[in-house]
Structure 1
Amino acid sequence: MQDNNIREKCRELATRLYELDGEVYESVGSSLGRTFTGDREGTIRNLSALMYTKPDGHLLRSEMALISNMARTIKDKEEKSRLMKKYDEIFQEILTLPETFVATDIMDKERVALNHMIKHREKISENDHLVICISRTQGSAGNDIGFGLADKLRINYYDVEIFDQVLRRLEAEKGAVNDAEYFADFNKYEKKHKSDPRGWFREFNRYHGLPKQDAVFFNMSDLICNLASKEDCIIMGRCADAILKNNHIPHISLFITAPFAIRVQHVMDVRKMNMKQAVRFLKKMDSQHRRYYNFYGGAQWGKPDNYDLCINSASYGINETENLILKLLDDQIH
């Protein structure tokens, strides 16, 4: 596509996505409101920019997941089918845009020939919902795999951006807190009671006897348990596997990673970083994930013993990793 053609295509798709959101909201009548709450022109312009400039594909992915999640709750089967067909058409056309969600695939071709499928020995009860909790190292394409898997399974997808929006909407009157903000700033939280005891005490009182970060986590835990007890879904991160295990809610836990050197190259390709920036970014993000999980999950992040399946995504690539997990689920369910 020529540059002008790509821009026009992005605007067309953004317009269709905005209108679909309105149709879904009208059919569902959700108290949460529309996914896109801004004015029409401004929203379409922002969506077009997300598709065209691709600064963070996960933002567009999360917006689309919110729409599809809501559409799947429509009770009228014909209306649900009609709107999901529209969603699928838009989604497939967005995938044809250059590097919309991810710049390059992640695959170590030399290892592909050594792959073998793994059968899982435990079965899921017919009465249980299919809940897949995915932890991942940064740069292993874990979010892309989770999103693609949710689309193939036609189940809901939840990541930190979606959880943040849902919590903000559900608890606006209570003063919702931004989970993404405080997860990214976990270092400050760990040191806060030492550097600012008075500030820590004020927050302790404000959140009903809990520090702010703890209040975020417990609100998130309640939401995760509620979702897992009511619907099939994929949950990215958030210590979801530990939360559901502690609450005795059936689930499948996966850990997706890849060799550090390959993750560095992947981040360089996707985020247009140089090697020094990519290495620093990966170490910082892995460290934040590890401390958050170890602190709240009460287990060791990334330790194989804590997961049902650990996958080296570089051995398969994004699509084949999704297919591997689908094969696993087929063995479990049937």
Structure 2
Amino acid sequence: MKAEGTGLNYQELAERFYALDTEVYEASGSELGKVFPGPKHISEKQILKDIEKEESEKLKDELILIGNMIKIIQEKGGRYEEFFIRYEHLCEDMMKVLEDDGFRDQITKDFTQDRYGLMYKTKENHIVVCIARETGAGGHEIGSRLAEKLGFSFYDDSLMDLMIDEMDEKIPGIGGKDAHYIRQSRVIKTIAQAGDCVIVGRSCGHVLMTNNIPRLSVFVGAPYENRVRRKMLINRQDRREAEEFIRRNDKRRKTSYDYYTGKKWGNPADFDICINSACYGIDGSVELLEKLVKYSLDLRK
């Protein structure tokens, strides 16, 4: 067997493989059939055998089939986020065993192809602005002022956390941070469907993209020194405290984004527009985004 020392339990992998196939098939309502139609114990035994015999191409084909079924759920809504996360984790672990990182990258790209351009609106004819930002670059303030000027609803971390806490929903088989991400994704979708809005943080642009919900994705950054000075001023911190605050928050954002999206946090190719707030200032950045959004509003008329 390959990838010794990964710490992976092959029997557990086989069980996860079969369970995901079964649940995805039931949730999709498709007549295409299950990847593993046999009884549970026989199917899991066959999967385990394929893993141990290094049947790479066969296992990849089966993963692709399950992924295609998840795409059916993506179009229908439902448990898509839950299945997508479990699928991503299963693919990642399987590729550790099969020593094939390229296949996981292929799957990620396949799931995150964006069908919409900058000025598309949601099915409900809403404009949704998603803002990602570096710590200290002023992204939160820019988003808040933009929403106020446009008359849009504004959602940030604190408000989304309140909405997540109000959800009385258990997610079978998933807990901790993964469950929180799934609930968070559902809140973000609900927000986007409710009306014109500005959302800051929480990988909101990626969440809407993977659910085929159009939006304007913005990344707000600034040179490191500018961000440090801004935090020293706003938080009344000394330089050491401000630098630690920035390092800690950016690391948290990057870790979460990279893990749940399979992408690299802050990659310009994943955004419609990237703004250096040190060049434009807070007011100038708001003005620039306001012009873009108003163009979309004009198209809506």
Name the TM tier (shorter chain).
0.5 to 0.7
Q: Which residue of 2 aligns with 1:183?
A: none
Picking from 132, 136, 139, the partner of 2:129 is 132
C-alpha separation in 2, matches of 1:158 and 1:268: 25
Question: Is the CA contact (8 Å cut-off) linking 1:135 and 1:256 kept in structure 2?
Answer: yes
3-state SS in 2 of match to 1:140: coil
d(CA) in 1 for partners of 2:149 and 2:261?
A: 29
Partner of 1:228: 192
Among 138, 141, 151, the alignment partner of 2:138 is 141
CA distance in 2 between counterparts of 1:132 and 1:122 reads: 10
Residue 328 of structure 1 aligns to a residue in which SS? Answer: helix
How far has the Cα of 1:125 moved from its partner?
4.4
- How many Å apart are 1:126 and its aligned residue? 8.3
After TM superposition, which residue ranges in structure 1, 4 or more long, deviate above 2 angstroms? 121-128, 330-334
What does 1:93-132 align with in structure 2 at a 5 Å threshold?
122-125=118-121, 128-132=125-129
The 1:322/1:283 distance shift into structure 2, 3 A limit, reads same
Q: Relative to structure 1, is the Cα distance of residues 224 and 315 closer, same or farther in structure 2, using a 3 angstrom cutoff? A: same
Is 2:211 the counterpart of 1:247?
Answer: yes
> Helix, strand or coil: the match of 2:174?
coil
2:126 partner amino acid: H
Query: Are the aligned partners of 2:118 and 2:216 in contact in 1 as well (CA < 8 Å)?
Result: no
Distance 1:277 1:214, change over 3 A: same
Where in structure 2 are the equivalents of 1:75-86 lying within 5 Å? Answer: none
Corresponding residue number in structure 2 for 1:162: 159
Q: Which residue of 1 aligns with 2:110?
A: none
CA distance, structure 1, for counterparts of residue 119 and residue 267 of structure 2: 23
One-letter identity of the residue aligned with 2:138: A
Does 2:288 match 1:324? yes
Equivalent positions of 1:45-60 (< 5 A) are none
- Pick from 271, 274, 284 the counterpart of residue 307 of structure 1: 271
Corresponding letter in the other structure for 1:123: M
- Check 1:326–1:297 CA distance in 2 against 1; reply closer, same or farther (3 A cut): same
Residue identity matched to 1:155: F
| Structure 2: distance between partners of 1:283 and 1:301 | 14
Q: TM-score, normalised by structure 2?
A: 0.57
Aligned residue type for 1:158: Y
Distance (whole Å) between structure 1 residues aligned to residue 244 and residue 122 of structure 2: 45
Aligned to 1:216: 180
Note the C-alpha offset of 1:122. Answer: 4.3
Aligned partner letter, 2:234: V
Cα deviations across residues 251-270 of structure 1 (Å, max 9, x unaligned)? 01000011000100000011
Cα deviation 1:148-179 (Å, max 9, x = unaligned): 111111111111110111222242xx58xxxx
Q: Secondary structure at the match of 2:166?
A: helix
Match of 1:151 in 2: 148
SS in structure 1 at match of 2:130 = strand
CA displacement, residues 229-263 of structure 1 (integer Å, 9 cap, x when unaligned): 23111111111111111110010100001100010
Q: 1:291 aligns with which of 230, 237, 255?
A: 255
Q: Is the CA contact 2:122–2:214 (under 8 Å) kept in the aligned structure 1?
A: no
- The answer as to whether partners of 1:123 and 1:332 remain within 8 angstroms in 2 is yes
The answer as to whether partners of 1:225 and 1:244 remain within 8 angstroms in 2 is yes
Q: With a CA cutoff of 8 Å and minimum separation of 6, indicate the structure with the bigger relative contact order.
A: 1
Q: Contact 2:145 / 2:286 at 8 angstroms: preserved in 1?
A: yes
Contact 2:133 2:139 in 1 (8 A): yes
Q: Secondary structure at the match of 2:265?
A: coil
- Alpha carbons 1:255, 1:309 under 8 Å: kept: yes
The structure with the largest alpha-carbon Rg is 2
Per the normalisation by structure 1, the TM-score is 0.52
Task: Give me the CA root mean square deviation.
Answer: 1.7
Q: For residue 129 of structure 1, what is the amino acid of its counterpart?
A: H
Q: Deviations over 1:74-132 (max 9, x none)?
A: xxxxxxxxxxxxxxxxxxxxxxxxxxxxxxxxxxxxxxxxxxxxxxx843348531001
Question: Given that residues 136 and 227 in structure 2 are in contact (C-alpha distance below 8 angstroms), is that contact kept between their aligned partners in structure 1?
Answer: yes
Task: Give the Cα–Cα distance (whole angstroms) in 2 for the partners of residues 330 and 155 of structure 1.
Answer: 12
Secondary structure in structure 2 of the residue aligned to 1:316: helix
Question: SS at the partner of 1:292?
Answer: helix
Q: Which residue number corresponds to residue 269 of structure 1?
A: 233
User: Could you say which residue in structure 1 is the equivalent of 2:20?
Assistant: none
Fraction of identical pairs, as percent = 33
